[in-house]
Amino acid sequence: MKDRIPRILIAGTGSGCGKTTVTCGLLSALRQSGTRTAAFKCGPDYIDPMFHKEVLGTDSGNLDLYLCGEETVKYLLARGGRRVELTVTEGVMGLYDGLGFNDDRCSANHISRLTETPVVLVADVKGKSLSLAAELSGYVNFRENRIRGVILNHCSAAMYPEYAEMIRRETGLPCFGYLPNVPEAEVGSRHLGLITAAEIADIRQKMDALGAVARDCLDLEGLRALAETAPELSYEEPEILREISTGERYPVAIAKDRAFCFYYRDALELLEQMGAELIPFSPLTDSHLPQGSCGLILGGGYPELHAETLSGNKTLLEEIRTAVQSGLPTYAECGGFMYLGRSITTGEGRFPMAGAIPGNSRVTGHLVRFGYKELTARRDNLLCRRGERIRCHEFHYSDTDDYGDGFEAVNSRGRSWETGQVSPSLYAGYPHLHLWGNPEFARSFMNGVRRRARGEGGGLWK
């Protein structure tokens, strides 16, 4: 299949150069100018797509070659882009940064080459003059790429013509505008990334202010014209979509609030295509699960920042413990895994949690088991049969005294360990999965939900 998808990829010279600021400014400016726009993020990051959503009012997707593979990435890009006028993808780290030090596999550059998407490079001009041209020349000439222009960050209106002329003269690249410092749009940071959009009370005003500046300072017409140069995107519809029916709907409770907010849009939509009716609830404020729930999803997030409130919601904790132990199909990742355990210990103390599974979590202040890895099931469980595999990633500043042993995890260096607490009705573990990485995991979860709806199934942790 082929679709015409006008598209660009906003990449960077490295982390901290301003990719997210420029991307959000561009998205806001496009929205304010009436352009129907879709957004994506390269890699597994959850937080940047939240900012995209705040700007556009629609969910942003993730394009991750390691988790999903090349054909799925092309399909997800096409599906997200074919109903809009322009698709903007934000890169990850520096343009060429991927899985390791030897090549650019799974980098923003890899995605741009795979999808034939023109790249606009964000460069921070702070403390640079002619050296900036040397840096950009290095990017242009380093490896095969689709770099077609530059946006300058932390640049003043007075200096922009000087920089733009120098870059054109020395590299042949056009500049598509600049962003100055915008104090009224600044946000803070937590851990290695931006804080979540929901934690910023005036996020809409900040993004609107950023967009107003971007409308004046970015060459929107030039960027639209560049996006139109992208060739038709070739892709195949995944076979599993031709096999699933869209008949009866089954209610599945999904935790969505400030404590549990890490989800992949396309993974949730896959569950919906398979029959899930996703019903949001808040472990922070709701006393009960949604009535009639035949399944439960507890995503990642920051439960450690809300441990006291979560622990104080005893009615819901007891209901979830009883539901999980009675066999309610439950899929819990990272923060959701911590929540299902016996307790979370933070700098403020030890807070009892659901106690639906063994294990006590504690905040460490440093990354634990960070990065990509592959999971292989050691026994049959809610998501898969023994021996089946899916790729995953971990990013958490906490640890546990009981990881579980339902899967074997292997990282890029060949180190392996056991992880995941599982049963025929449960997957709970630190690893984040993207269900498009192995759609059979989604189908298995929904089979469990259907069995529950028919009154079948059972639990392990009794």
Mean pLDDT of 137-157: 97
**Which pLDDT band, with edges at 50, 70 and 90, does 56 fall under?**
very high
Structure token digits, residue 458: 């059972």
Confidence (pLDDT) at 457: 63
Confidence (pLDDT) at 166: 98
Mean pLDDT of 397-405: 93
Which positions ≥6 away from 419 have C-beta within 8 Å?
A: 375, 403, 404, 405, 406, 407, 408, 409, 429, 430, 431
First to last CA, the chain: 50
**Which region among 39-53, 298-312, 448-462 has the lowest average model confidence (pLDDT)?**
448-462
Mean pLDDT of 221-245: 93
Radius of gyration of the chain, Cα coordinates, nearest whole angstrom? 23
Confidence (pLDDT) at 127: 87
Residues of the chain with CATH 3.40.50.300: 2-234
Q: What gap in Å lies between CA 97 and CA 298, rounded to an integer?
A: 31
203 pLDDT more than 90: no
Q: What gap in Å lies between CA 73 and CA 362, rounded to an integer?
A: 35
Which positions ≥6 away from 441 have C-beta within 8 Å?
A: 383, 384, 388, 390, 433, 435
Confidence (pLDDT) at 77: 98
Residues of the chain with CATH 3.40.50.880: 241-453
334 is catalytic: yes
Confidence (pLDDT) at 367: 80
462 pLDDT more than 80: no
Confidence (pLDDT) at 190: 40
From 24, 217, 334, 392, the catalytic residue: 334
pTM (two decimals) = 0.93
**Which pLDDT band, with edges at 50, 70 and 90, does 65 fall under?**
very high
When the pLDDT of each residue in the chain is averaged and rounded to a whole number, the result is 94
Which CATH number fits the domain 241-453, given the four candidates 3.40.50.880, 3.40.50.720, 3.40.50.1100, 3.10.450.50? 3.40.50.880
More confident of the two residues 203 and 297: 297
Mean pLDDT of 370-394: 96
Confidence (pLDDT) at 246: 66
Half-sphere exposure of 415 (CA within 13 A, CB side): 7
Mean pLDDT of 175-195: 72
Percent of the chain with pLDDT over 70: 96
Q: What gap in Å lies between CA 462 and CA 460, rounded to an integer?
A: 6
Strand 371-377 versus strand 389-394 pairing type: antiparallel
460 pLDDT more than 60: no
Confidence (pLDDT) at 188: 57
354 pLDDT more than 90: yes
121 pLDDT more than 90: yes
Q: What gap in Å lies between CA 179 and CA 213, rounded to an integer?
A: 7
72 pLDDT more than 80: yes
Structure token digits, residue 433: 């999965």
**Which pLDDT band, with edges at 50, 70 and 90, does 195 fall under?**
low
CATH topology of domain 2-234: Rossmann fold (3.40.50)
**Which pLDDT band, with edges at 50, 70 and 90, does 183 fall under?**
confident
If one counts every other C-beta atom within 10 angstroms of the C-beta of residue 54, the result is 20
Let me know the angle formed at the C-alpha of 54 by 52 and 55, rounded to the nearest 5 degrees. Answer: 65
More confident of the two residues 353 and 205: 353
Confidence (pLDDT) at 412: 86
